[in-house]
């Protein structure tokens, strides 16, 4: 009996010794592994400090909400866009944002499908440029179509369609005061707009007014089909759903004033700069002759003018409604606040 007891004690001692040895080996291994990890971490920190990458900067200093803003101004030609963009570039350093011009090959207004995706990805992930103000003669592009929820803030400016059309006609012949020495495509052609209409020439064809609708409609081929009713309705829908604000050339000063109120991150000080620093008439067509009343009547009978004018009037009514709430706000509106209460569970 005594011998059996002794045998069990010996087995327990051997087992205990084995466990003790195993635990000691594991502890030594864990200590060595931890030391290696600490050394690797210190080395990584040193490398990041000496050679910071955009990714490490983004992770270490995440963008604040104000610094993540992206504004896209898909500017329609001959709507006062150069004067407006001049204000943007003068303010970008002071207000601490980046301004970038979108330049598309051969002055095209739409992108190929692959470039659409790349464009959306670039703007969405280019954090080192944010906050960013992009501008260029490019049709509206819906970011949600490509699965991106962080949509940019779209803005635009429209102009009375016939005024824009006439301005562009003379611009191609006489240029402007922005680059007065640049020879334009129709340089030397002194035919007036009225004479062109009477002669039925192609460059004053009323169908050429079909531009503001497709710019707000987007990249769908139907947007660029002259006289397409769906394109007009889609342009209205986009204006209402996707644009922060669409102003008009004829009220450009008020457009900037409204932007200064609702988007001060970019437009703080913009209105005063526009009024008092020679920015309100940055680009004017050198010579322009107003069309005769009979020419105007002829243009206004066309389907394209009626549709373009419908979009303009729709944008104008939307802008006036917004302007009343911002510029001509009542005392009650100015002092409006909101807060949260009855929050459950406590």
Would you list the DSSP string of 127-156?
GGG-SEEEE-S-----GGGGT--S--EEEE
3-state SS assignment for residue 66: helix
Q: Give yes or no for a contact between 80 and 157, defined as CB atoms under 8 angstroms apart.
A: yes
Distances (CA, A) of 249 to 37, 82, 159, 264: 63, 11, 5, 21
Contacts of 1 (CB under 8 A, 6+ apart): none
Q: Helix crossing, 293-300 with 161-174: angle to 10°?
A: 120
Distance CA 49, CA 221 (A): 50
Helix (H) or strand (E) segment spanning residue 93: none
CA atoms within 13 A on the CB side of 311: 35
Distance CA 104, CA 247 (A): 24
Give the residue with greater pLDDT, 48 vs 174: 174
Helix (H) or strand (E) segment spanning residue 157: strand 153-158
- The catalytic site residues sit at 135, 137
Task: Please write the tens of the pLDDT for every residue from 183-228.
Answer: 445 555 779 999 999 999 999 999 999 999 999 999 999 999 999 9
For residue 58, say if its preceding peptide bond is cis, omega within 30 degrees of 0: no
Q: Which residues pair with 154 in a beta bridge?
A: 72, 243
Task: Please write the tens of the pLDDT for every residue from 226-238.
Answer: 999 999 999 999 9
Task: Please write the tens of the pLDDT for every residue from 114-126.
Answer: 999 999 999 999 9
SS3 content of the chain, % helix, strand, coil (to 5): 60, 10, 35
Distance CA 195, CA 177 (A): 25
pLDDT at 45: 44
Instruction: Enter the tokens of residue 244.
Output: 């922060």
3-state SS assignment for residue 70: strand
235 closest CA partner among 168, 301, 315, 317: 315
Sketch out the chain's domains with CATH numbers.
Answer: 69-329 (3.40.50.300)
Q: What is the per-residue DSSP string for 195-263?
A: HHHHHT-GGG-GGGGTTHHHHHH-SSGGGGSTT-HHHHHHHHHHHHHHEEEEEEGGGHHHHHHHHHHH-
Instruction: Enter the tokens of residue 141.
Output: 């592009």
Q: Give yes or no for a contact between 236 and 226, defined as CB atoms under 8 angstroms apart.
A: no
Contacts of 64 (CB under 8 A, 6+ apart): none
Cα first-last separation, the chain: 69
pTM for the model:
0.77
Task: Please write the tens of the pLDDT for every residue from 264-287.
Answer: 999 999 999 999 876 545 556 657
Q: In the predicted model, what is the mean pLDDT of residues 26-47?
A: 50
pLDDT at 64: 62
């Amino acid at each position: 009996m005594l011998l059996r007891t002794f045998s069990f004690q010996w087995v327990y001692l051997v087992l205990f010794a084995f466990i003790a040895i195993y635990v000691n080996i594991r502890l030594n291994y864990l200590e060595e592994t931890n030391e290696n990890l600490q050394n690797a971490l210190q080395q990584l920190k040193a490398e990041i400090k000496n050679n910071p990458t955009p990714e490490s900067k983004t992770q270490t200093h995440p963008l604040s909400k104000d610094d993540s803003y992206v504004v896209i101004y898909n500017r329609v030609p001959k709507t006062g866009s150069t004067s407006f963009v001049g204000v943007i570039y003068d303010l970008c350093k002071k207000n601490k944002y980046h301004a970038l011009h979108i330049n598309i090959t051969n002055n095209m207004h739409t992108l190929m499908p692959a470039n659409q995706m790349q464009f959306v990805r670039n703007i969405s992930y280019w954090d080192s440029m944010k906050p960013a103000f992009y501008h260029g003669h490019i049709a509206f592009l819906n970011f949600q179509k490509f699965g991106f929820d962080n949509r940019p803030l779209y803005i635009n400016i429209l102009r009375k369609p016939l005024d824009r059309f006439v301005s562009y006609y003379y611009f191609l012949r006489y240029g402007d005061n922005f680059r007065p020495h640049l020879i334009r495509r129709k340089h030397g052609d002194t035919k007036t707009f009225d004479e062109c209409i009477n002669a039925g020439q192609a460059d004053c064809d009323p169908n050429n007014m079909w531009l503001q609708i497709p710019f707000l409609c987007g990249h769908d081929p139907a947007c660029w089909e002259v006289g397409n009713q769906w394109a007009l309705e889609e342009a209205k829908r986009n204006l209402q759903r996707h644009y922060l604000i669409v102003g008009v050339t004829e009220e450009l000063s008020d457009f900037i004033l409204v932007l200064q109120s609702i988007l001060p991150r970019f437009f703080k000080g913009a209105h005063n700069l526009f009024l008092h620093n020679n920015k309100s008439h940055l680009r004017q067509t050198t010579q322009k002759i107003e069309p005769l009343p009979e020419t105007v009547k002829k243009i206004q009978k066309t389907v394209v003018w009626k549709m373009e004018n419908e979009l303009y009037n729709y944008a104008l009514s939307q802008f006036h409604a917004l302007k009343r709430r911002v510029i001509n706000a009542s005392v009650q509106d100015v002092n409006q606040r909101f807060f949260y209460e009855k929050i459950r569970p406590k």
